[in-house]
Amino acid sequence: MNQAYRRAGSFDQEELGDELVIMELESQAIVTLNPTGQLIWDMLEESATSDEIQTLIADAFPDVDRDSLNTDIQAVLDTLVAARLATTEPGGN
């Protein structure tokens, strides 16, 4: 199913070198994202579907196996949801 994702809750973020550290303020859960994870996070400022995210990342990395990319993207999304930094809803745009 194509899920739509969006940033959730209150958070603080800081860039440390080439990584982005995000802390969910209520639970104090911390997530560290590499540059590709940051791209995903940036897309969640507005609602984005998993298909939209996968297409953007696949276009940026055309030489990487699409199935591997999609698995990695879903892992980032799942981590953000588990940390209460993102929410999901069915459907898409």
pLDDT digits over 32-62, tens only?
A: 999 999 999 999 999 999 999 999 999 999 9
Strand 3-7 relative to strand 19-24, pairing: unpaired
- CB contact set of 55 (below 8 Å; sequence gap of 6+): none
Paired residues of 11 in beta bridges: 24
Indicate the pLDDT class of residue 92, thresholds 50, 70 and 90. Answer: low
The CA distance from 17 to 1, in Å, is 35
Distance of CA 92 to the CA centre of its chain: 16
The CA distance from 88 to 82, in Å, is 11
**Model pTM score:** 0.90
Residues 70-83 have a mean pLDDT of 96
Q: Where are the domains of the chain?
A: 3-85
